[in-house]
Homo-oligomer: A and B are copies of this chain.
Amino acid sequence: MTRKLETFLERLETTNTVDDLSSLADILRDTYGVKNMSYLATNLNGLPFVSSTYDPKWAQHYEDQNYMLIDPVVRGALLQFNPLDWKQLDWSSKRTREFFHEAVDFGVGRQGYTIPIRGPNGQAAIFAINHDSNDAGWDRYIGEHAHDFMLISHYFHQKALAATHTTEPIEGRDLSPRELDVLKYLGIGLSRGKVAEILKISEHTLRVYVDSARYKLGALNTTHAVAIALARGVIAV
Contact = CB atoms under 8 A, between A and B. Distances in A.
Interface string A219-236: 111111011101111101
A236 B46 CA distance: 10
B231 A161 contact: no
Contacts of A233: 78, 118, 122, 124
Interface string A30-68: 000000000000110000000000000000000000100
Interface in A121-151: 121-124, 147, 150-151
A172 interface: no
Contact of A231 (B147, B219, B237): B237
Interface stretch (A103-111, A186-194, A199-207): A186-194
A161 B83 CA distance: 13
Contacts of A188: 224, 227
Given A150-B154, A189-B220, A119 B236 contact: no
A: interface residue count bin: 35 or more
A172 to B, nearest CB: 12
Given A82-B161, A220-B190, A237-B121, A230 B232 contact: no
A214 to B, nearest CB: 10
A235 B27 CA distance: 32
A92 interface: no
Nearest to A230: B230
B81 A161 contact: yes
Interface centre among A66, A222, A226, A232 (most CB of B within 10 A): A226
Given A151-B151, A161-B82, A223 B187 contact: yes
Contacts of A230: 122, 227, 230-231, 237
Interface of A: 1-2, 42-43, 66, 69, 78-82, 116, 118-124, 147, 150-151, 154, 157-158, 161, 168, 174, 177, 186-191, 219-224, 226-228, 230-234, 236-237
17 contacts: A1-B147, A66-B177, A78-B120, A78-B234, A79-B168, A81-B120, A81-B123, A81-B157, A82-B161, A121-B237, A150-B151, A151-B151, A187-B223, A187-B227, A189-B227, A230-B230, A231-B236
